[in-house]
Amino acid sequence: MPAGVRTAEVFGDVADVSLFPEEEIAIASAVDARRREFATGRHCARAALSALGRPAVPLPPDEHGVPSWPDGVVGSLTHCHGYRAAAVAGREDVMSLGIDAEPHRPLPQGVLEAVTIAPERAALAVLADSYPSVHWDRLLFSAKESVFKSWFSMTGDRLGFDDAEVEFEAEIPFFRARVLRQRPGWAGKAPMAVGGRWLVCRGLVLAAVSL
């Protein structure tokens, strides 16, 4: 992430995380695994906010399930098996953030066709032949998720998997995403093309977008 962004990550869940009453209400009926995931995500978020010089505050999910970040702060959370992370920044430095982590393994059968368009599948086949150590299908899924989170924070609207096209640079950890459709109300809120960074390590694929 660029200068001005603060991050925190853990490889697993943190025990005995203190939640604010507003957060407890939000997960009152959640199963234990979801409670641990939620609590550890808030732990990471507050650690990142502290690094940004911000106090610990409640971060209940809004009606879309997105954390209610403090005024003047943009942020993003991600979680997958064995990993939780948060990224935050001041709005004076960053307009939006999107991060995503996934296990570094192939997508389940049939999912690739649902989350890609034909040009992406053709490009992935070439990448897989040239760089077979990377599960490019899972990385593309992660990249799109990071773009979608960033886009939603700017527009309040959700992109579908066929609304954006992602292209990877294999020699450097960079990707480009182009939004393929324009909808009413989007004009001027967000760029139609964004760039992001990716990483493969410790059994994970990670993608991040910051604008």
Q: How many other CB atoms are there within 10 angstroms of residue 163's CB atom?
A: 18
Query: Is residue 78 a known part of a binding site?
Result: yes
Query: Is residue 81 a known part of a binding site?
Result: no
Query: Is residue 165 a known part of a binding site?
Result: no
Residues 6+ apart with CB under 8 A from 24: none
Tokens standing for residue 143: 């990249």
Tokens standing for residue 116: 């890609």
Tokens standing for residue 12: 């697993």
Q: In 3-state terms, what secondary structure has residue 93? A: coil
Query: Is residue 34 a known part of a binding site?
Result: yes
Query: Is residue 104 a known part of a binding site?
Result: no
| 122: enclosing H helix or E strand | helix 118-130
Of the CA atoms within 13 Å of residue 118, those in its CB half-sphere come to 0
Contact 115, 180 (CB under 8 A): no
Query: Is residue 101 a known part of a binding site?
Result: yes
Q: How many other CB atoms are there within 10 angstroms of residue 175's CB atom?
A: 24
Region label for 13, one of left (φ > 0), alpha (ψ between -120 and 50) or beta (otherwise): beta
Query: Is residue 144 a known part of a binding site?
Result: no
Contact 177, 166 (CB under 8 A): yes
Query: Is residue 42 a known part of a binding site?
Result: yes
Contact 111, 125 (CB under 8 A): no
Binding site for CoA: residue ranges? 34, 42, 78-79, 100, 145, 149, 159
Binding site: residue ranges? 34, 42, 78-79, 100-102, 145, 149, 159
Binding site for Mg(2+): residue ranges? 100-102
